[in-house]
Amino acid sequence: MFVGRTLWNEFRGIVADPVRRLFARGPGALLLGCLACVGVIFFHAIAQHPAGATVVRVLGGVTGDLPLWLALLRTPVSLYVPALDLPVWAGLTQLFLAFALAELALGRARTLAVAYATTLAGTLTARAMIAIGPGWWGLGLPPETGRVLDTGPSAAVVGLFTYMAVTRRAPVLFTLTGGSMVWESIAVPNLAGREHLVAVGAAIVLGAAHGRLRRPATRFLRRVRGRGPVPAPPRRAAGSE
C-alpha cells in the first residue's frame, strides 16, 4: 500500500497535474519546451558547416579556459547548443519533457531560473576543478580539460528533473535521474559527468531551499487572511470636539 500510494502521488504530481494545467492553459503553456527544441535543432543544423560551427562556438561555446565574464555571457546561449559528438535527436525528447513539464508544474520564470542556475553551477564548479589541478583526491582536473566544451542543455535537463523530484516529492524520478548521473560519472569519468552531478546537487539545494522558504510564507499568509480586513477608524461627526 505504501508503494502504491507513493507511485500514485508521484503520478499526480509529475504527470496528472501538469496535464490538467495544459488543458486549462492551452498549447501556449508549452512555449519553453518548444523554444528549447527549436533552438537546439537550429544550432545543430548550422553547426554542420564550418562557418556555422564557428558562429555556434562564438555565441554559445563555453569552456573552462575562457575568461569568466565571457563564460557567463555565453552560458544562457549554451543551454541550446548540443554536444557535437552526441546524436542530437536522441536528447530532444528529454529536453522537451524537462522544459514542458517544468513550465507546467513550476511556472515559466522558475523553470528558466532553475535551468540557468544548475547549468551555471556545473560551469563554475568545472572551472574550480581545473584551477585546483590534478590530485586533491580526484577532485581536480588537468589543464587540458579547460578546452572541452560544456554540457550544453543536458545539465539543465538533469537539474529540472531533479528539482521537480524534490519539490513534488517524487522518489522514483529522483532515483532515476540521480542514479543515472552517478552511473554515468562512474562508467564514463569525464567533465560532463561531473557537471551533471553538480547540477543534481544544485537542484537538490534549490528544491530544499524552496520548501523551507515556502512553509513560513504560507503560514504568514494564512494568519493574515484569518484576521480578516482591518476595520476603518470611525469618523467624527461634523462639529464634534
In a domain, 237, yes or no: no
Q: Could you tell me which residues are beta bridge partners of residue 63?
A: 149
Q: What is the pLDDT of residues 165-204, one digit of tens each?
A: 999 888 888 888 888 888 877 777 778 888 889 999 999 9
Domain residue limits at 35: 2-222
User: What is residue 48's three-state secondary structure?
Assistant: coil
In a domain, 166, yes or no: yes
217 pLDDT more than 90: no
First to last CA, the chain: 72
112 pLDDT more than 90: yes
- Give the DSSP H/E element, type plus range, for residue 16: none
State how far the Cα of 205 lies from the Cα of 125, in Å rounded to an integer. Answer: 15
In a domain, 234, yes or no: no
In a domain, 12, yes or no: yes
In a domain, 238, yes or no: no
132 pLDDT more than 70: yes
User: What is residue 157's three-state secondary structure?
Assistant: helix
Positive or negative, the Cα torsion across 204, 207, 210, 216?
negative
For the chain, the domain total comes to: 1
Report the candidate in 63, 157, 54 with the shortest Cα–Cα distance to residue 114: 157
